[in-house]
Structure 1
C-alpha cells in the first residue's frame, strides 16, 4: 500500500482506474489442505461461546504462532495462526497455510482462508488479493468488487484508492470509477480531501476530483484537525483547507496534527508545535511520533520512551521500538528483539515473546 503515512500512517492507504460495478462472484474453491487446517483451527479450544468477548483484543506472537490477548494481558484466542492483524468492524484477518481468512472476536473462522493477501475491514469492505489482482469482499466473504487492480487501499470516507497500470484513482463501494487514475501517488481521504502527486508536485483534491489545494508543493501530508503540512523548497509549513499558509515554512520536517500538537523538526532535533506555530515542546528528541491517548513516543539516542503534552517524560526511554497507545496499550520491543504490550505506566501486561 502507499504513501499516506510516513509516521503514523498508520497506520492511513491508496490507488485507481475506470472501473465498473461488479455483480457478485463466487469465491475460489479453497485448497483442501487449507480447508482442513481452517477446520482444525476452529476446533482448537477457544473461550466458551457463552463468554462475552472483550471490547478490544490485541494480536500477540508466541512460539511462532499468533493469537490475541485482552487489555489485561490475558490470553483470549490461542496462538494458532501464521499471521494475524487487529480486529476492525468485528473481524480480524488471519493466515493459515499461507492463505488469508477472517475470524470473529470469539476466535471462530467466519470467512475461510482462501486469499493470497487481505486487509482489515473498513466501511464494511476489505481488500483481498486473488491471484495477482486486488478486489474487495463484504463482511459475509462475498466478492463486492471483483479483483482487477494492481494495488488498492482501504475505503475511507466512501472512496478507495486503486492503481491501474502505473496510475492511481478512486472508486466508490460499487467499484465505479469516481476519480480517474491520473496520479502518480495518492493518500486516502481525510476530512474530505486527499493528497495527490502529479509528476513531482503534491496538492489536494476533493471527492469530486476537483483540485482544492494547488498541486505545487514538493511534498505534503493528509489533512488532520483542519491543517496539512506541505514542503516548500527545503522547509515545511502548514496550510488550511483553502490552501492558505497558517504556519510559515520554518520547520525542517513535520508530521500531522494530533490532539492539538504536531511533530516539528528544527535542525537535528524534534519537538512539537501548536496550531499557532509556537513550539509547545522544544526540539530535543532524535525522533518522535504523533500524540495518541495523551502520550507521544520519543527517541533519545537509540531508545524510545513516552512524553505527555507538557513534554514531561512519563515512560523513560528503554525500548528498541514502540508504537503509540491504542485502547490503553502500546506495543514495545525490548533489547532481545521480542514484542510485548505495555500499559501507561510502562509495565508489560504481555511479556515480550516471539
Structure 2
C-alpha cells in the first residue's frame, strides 16, 4: 500500500480549526470590555472595539473574531482557540476557561469528557474544566473513542482508561483508534485486532491492518490488499495494490496502477482509470487524472 493512514496524527489541528471562527479570556478580562446583546437577537458582542468576537449563543457558534488565529467547533460547551502558536479553550460566553498554554491539541473535540493536549512534546488529557486528568507524559495518543485509548511510551503502544490507569500493557509497535469496538495493533511486524477489553479477537497475522469503517477493514498480505469483516473473515479478496477505507458505501482501491471505487460487496462501481482516489465525503470523491484534481459523484460523473 502507498500510505499507512492508521497512524494519521491526532494533532492535525487543521482538521478542527477554521480561520473564520475564534477568541480568549485574558482579552475578555481587560478594562473597557464591551459586552452587549443585540436587540431581539441571540448575538453577543464580546470585547473591545478593536478586538472583539461575535457569538451566537443559541447555536453555539462564533460568527466573527479578531482575537485568534484559529478557533474550533464547540464540543461539550468548549471551543479550541489558538494565538501565537498556543492553544486553549473558551466557553460559549467567550470566556477563556483553559489558558492558551498547549502546543497541540487532539482533533475531534472532547470525547468522554476528555481531550488530548500536548506540551513540551508530551501528550496527556484534560477535562472540560481544564484539569489534567491524564499526566502529560506520552509520546503520542489517540482520542477516547471508547473507554480506553492507545498511548505511546518508550516507543511502545499500550492502552489506558479515562482515569489514566494502564489497561493494556505497553507492548505494541503500532496501534490505531477504536472503530466498531475493535482497534488494529501490531507486534513483531504482524497486525491484527483487539477489543475494548484488551483481548485479541483477530490474530496478528497481516502485514498491515486498517481501522474498521462501515463494518469492514482493509488488510494487506504480501503486497496485496482486501477487506475483512469484524469476524476476521475475508469478504473482499486480496487482489488490490492499495485500498482505503469504506465511506458512504464505497472504497477507493488501486489495481494495475489505476484507482477506482468498489462497493461493500466488492463490485466495481467507478472504473479503474484515475491516478489517485480519496474516500467519499458528502456524496463526492476526490480523484486525480493527468495531474488535475477532480470531484466525482457515486456514478463516477465529474461534478463542480
TM-score bucket (shorter structure): 0.7 to 0.9
C-alpha contact (below 8 Å) 1:298/1:306 kept by paired residues: yes
Give the TM-score normalised by structure 1. 0.69
Within the alignment, does 1:204 sit opposite 2:193 as a pair?
yes
1:279 to 268, 273, 295: 268
CA RMSD across the alignment: 2.8
Q: CA deviation at 1:302?
A: 2.6
Aligned to 1:52: 57
2:80 maps to 93
List alignment gaps of at least 5 residues for structure 1: 12-33, 58-67, 69-75, 316-354
Structure 2 distance, partners of 1:236, 1:95, is: 40
Which residue of the partner structure matches residue 103 of structure 1?
90
In 2, distance between residues paired with 1:39 and 1:97? 19
The structural deviation recorded for 1:36 is: 4.8
Pick aligned residue for 1:158 from 147, 167, 187: 147
Residue matched to 2:171: 182
Alignment match of 1:139 (pick from 119, 128, 151): 128
Aligned to 1:238: 227
Give the conservation status (yes or no) of the 8 Å contact 1:38–1:112: no
CA contact (8 A) 1:8 1:290 kept: no
Paired with 1:9 and 1:113, the residues of 2 have a C-alpha distance of 16
Question: In the alignment, is residue 113 of structure 1 matched against residue 100 of structure 2?
Answer: yes
Could you say which residue in structure 1 is the equivalent of 2:300? 311
Is 2:209 the counterpart of 1:220? yes
> 2:281 is paired with a residue of what secondary structure?
coil
Q: Kindly indicate which of the two structures has a greater share of residues assigned to strand.
A: 2
| Runs of 4+ in structure 1 over 3 Å off | 5-11, 34-42, 51-55, 82-90, 104-108
Report how many residues are paired.
272
Identify which of structures 1 and 2 has the higher relative contact order when contacts are C-alpha pairs closer than 8 Å and 6+ apart.
1
Q: Normalising to structure 2: TM-score of the pair?
A: 0.80
Contact 1:221 1:230 in 2 (8 A): yes
Q: 1:231 Cα shift? A: 0.6
